[in-house]
Structure 1
């Protein structure tokens, strides 16, 4: 039995949702987390994949010590790739240890009077009244398929997010569009399953991340900058460890940082696996696509304008995720229309609160405000601390007010 009005309802039980739930429970807030823990990671990521992030940057946000990824695993050496199943197990363990019993249902609709009480309808039929809602929906709703490919049927073109296994492509010709980690790892996993993949990308040359750890002299290491959750470099360290600074930059500068920090590249440990089994068509892009019998025909163009006719059994668009609040179906049109936006993302204040008091956004939807770290697990702790710090200070007044200070009641939350 729950109180008639709770303090906060968290939509999503991935790294950001679980982190917010953990901080909220620690702060003594009445909180419910809606979603199956790590469901997206478990059911929408390729079974054989590895995380690109290093162990120190793969922890969920916790208000108490002892719950990092390395502590769960008894220490995980730097430079050893993390298998997907290991990370999923860590997230599920974190939920058991720190989060307030995530509920395996779905949020269908968020309605109400911003700044007072929201009414959230669940797939169970229950209606939950809450003073605040945190949208931690992850990346799933925002899978991006290029416009030339989007009109084709899903029998011919899919986004990489829908593929957990690749066995059905054995013996098939598959074009993988993209040059980032998702595209390159998808191509390798396809080859491992007996498919004949080809990587098609605009870039004339694939980029690869370097082996982590200190290299060169102390002076060279100093000049290169510190290691952070987003890699090495002084500016990268700021975007990673001090994301609040990004918010003070002009919108165009923030957009440039999000777009160009950690551009498309493969992990260092994947490079040797992308061998002769994987074809490459680099420096090209799709200008037309159409069904051709039960296959797909692509017209691709290089930088000189020369065109090539490409036939394949299937195309997988490993072309990332583009946040857009209009794709969050749980938010009705009347609420979405009232949101101030930065591009297609919600414009957020210093506490991740949108222009609708009591409605917060965490994860990818916050990247337009707080920068590229919000695209990664590493940003979960900062987001959870900021959101719950604000909630802990304002909920006691019976309403969430955007002009209140952000200092939490429990100083340990800002360790």
Structure 2
């Protein structure tokens, strides 16, 4: 691939959103290519042994004919697929790679190092030393650029402090003292998996008590239950229907309200299926709720943590399962000049300001996935939102 080649669209990122956008764009005749390692964030930046929190029917990637669903893959491979049956991360990764083989066989498996604007086109410098130009670019960067750390841990380098998105193989933590920070599924599941791996784990959470998802019903919902509490990929109830199924309406709400809703909706909760494992493994001494880390001081190879309730912990490693903070300044794959032209919701920073077609303030530059949640709602935080994003972006791409 050389710099003389001009694509209609370059998709930066080969996760669920990037692959879904490419599937729809290519079906419309757009000369589109995806750049990146398929499903790498899911395969390499999530703990081995974890399971998806979303229901299987809310975990499909999107193609125009809905042919290549998670159900289709499970049927093909003879794997279990049912409501209330959590999907192992390994199954989901394999599914995403199978989806890629069906929809994006010409994917270029290399990272994009830099995107710049050259006249009317974008120039992409690739990690394999090649380059390409494209009339439009879709950023499907996922969650990796945006880890959020508690203030007391900012500036302390790995491996003493790690974000949950940097944790994969947990076997190396055996025999170590680990403090996990957070109250959501990521924190709870990582704590359980670390305990299984032989680590001495303590969970620290600001919330006064851990919250849990409800156990799914073992019988089909009645018509009245569907009417009273309809369900989509965000969960049951009309509130979730509005947030998850009406992203165009959500975009028309006031900007400040949208940002607050995305921050507060579907707050930290553990999945029903891991609750027994957690409660059997963790006593009160190893679950510190209603408190937070106020300072972290090096003590040899470890850290001495002071908590807001006056107690202390000593940890070999701290894992922050504290979510993500979208900011246009973290689009580091964009050249400095180009990045400075991407308007954020707080001016020069914050989530990107996006139009009705996921278009940024830079003509031809589109943003999908987590980074678009403040515009189109909480469903963009999940695989569930990839269908709307792909169907909305594809018609607006050049061909």
Measured against the shorter chain, the TM-score band is: over 0.9
Q: Verify the 8 A CA contact 2:205 2:292 in the aligned structure 1.
A: yes
Q: What SS does structure 1 have at the residue aligned with 2:153?
A: coil
How far did residue 176 of structure 1 move?
A: 0.4
Residue matched to 1:389 = 395
Aligned residue runs from structure 1 range 200-215, under 5 A? 200-213=204-217
Distance in 2, Cα, partners of 1:155 & 1:387: 39
Question: In 2, Cα distance between the equivalents of 1:54 and 1:220?
Answer: 18
- Range with greater deviation from structure 2 (64-73 or 31-40): 64-73
Q: How does 1:68-147 map to 2 (within 5 A)?
A: 68-74=69-75, 76-113=81-118, 116-147=120-151
Residues 294 and 144 from structure 1, CA distance in 2 versus in 1: closer, same or farther, beyond 3 angstroms?
Answer: same
1:244, distance to aligned residue in structure 2 (A): 1.3
In the alignment, structure 1 residue 348 sits paired with structure 2 residue 351: no
Q: Which moved more, 1:152-161 or 1:342-351?
A: 152-161
Aligned to 1:406: none
The range that moved more, 187-196 or 71-80, is: 71-80
CA distance in structure 1 between the aligned counterparts of 2:118 and 2:249, rounded to whole angstroms: 31
Q: What is aligned with 1:407? A: none
> For 1:291 and 1:101, how far apart are their aligned partners in 2?
48
**Inter-CA distance 155–98: structure 2 relative to 1 (3 Å threshold):** closer
Q: Post-superposition shift, 1:221?
A: 5.5
Larger deviation, residues 356-365 vs 96-105: 96-105
Alignment partners' CA distance in 2, 1:80 and 1:220: 21
- Gaps of at least 5 residues in structure 2 are none
1:112 is paired with a residue whose SS is: strand
C-alpha deviations, 1:284-307, integer Å up to 9, x for none?
A: 0111111112221111113xxxx1
Query: 1:328 is matched with which residue: 319, 326, 331?
Result: 331
Aligned length: 387
Equivalent of residue 380 in structure 1, options 376, 383, 386: 386
TM-score normalised to the size of structure 2? Answer: 0.93
For 1:65 and 1:255, locate their aligned partners in 2 and report how far apart those are by CA, in whole Å: 31
CA contact (8 A) 1:362 1:383 kept: yes
1:131-210 matched pairs, under 5 angstroms: 131-210=135-214
What whole-Å deviation, never above 9, does each CA across 1:191-231 have from its counterpart, x for those lacking one? Answer: 101111111000011011112347998656643x2111011
Q: Which runs of structure 2 are paired with 1:223-242 in the superposition (5 Å)? A: 223=228, 225-242=229-246
Q: Deviations over 1:380-414 (max 9, x none)?
A: 111011111111xxx25xxxxxxxxxxxxxxxxxx
Match of 2:257 in 1: 253
**Contact 2:181–2:319 under 8 Å retained in 1:** yes
Which aligned pairs between 1:257-406 and structure 2 lie closer than 5 A?
257-278=261-282, 279-302=286-309, 307-343=310-346, 344-391=350-397, 395=398
Distance 2:7 2:302 in 1: 53
Decide whether the 8 Å contact of 2:13 with 2:140 is kept in 1: yes
Distance 1:217 1:249, change over 3 A: same
Q: Provide Cα deviations, 1:305-338, integer angstroms capped at 9, x if missing partner.
A: xx11222222111111111121122111211211
Q: Quick check: 2:13–2:36 contact (8 Å CA) kept in 1? A: yes
Q: Is the 8 A contact 1:12 1:137 kept in 2?
A: yes
Contact preservation (8 Å) 2:180, 2:201: yes
Equivalent-residue separation in structure 1 for 2:364 and 2:192 (angstroms):
44
SS, match of residue 49 in structure 2? coil
Q: Distance in 2 between matches of 1:183 and 1:314?
A: 14
Distance of aligned partners of 1:155 and 1:93 in 2 relative to their CA distance in 1, 3 Å threshold: closer
Q: Aligned-pair distance for 1:127?
A: 2.1
SS in 1 for 2:211: coil
1:119 is paired with a residue whose SS is strand
Which segment is superposed worse, 23-32 or 1-10? 1-10
Contact 2:33 2:104 in 1 (8 A): no
TM-score with structure 1 setting the length: 0.89
Summarize the Cα distance change of 1:171–1:23 in structure 2 as closer, same or farther, 3 Å threshold: same
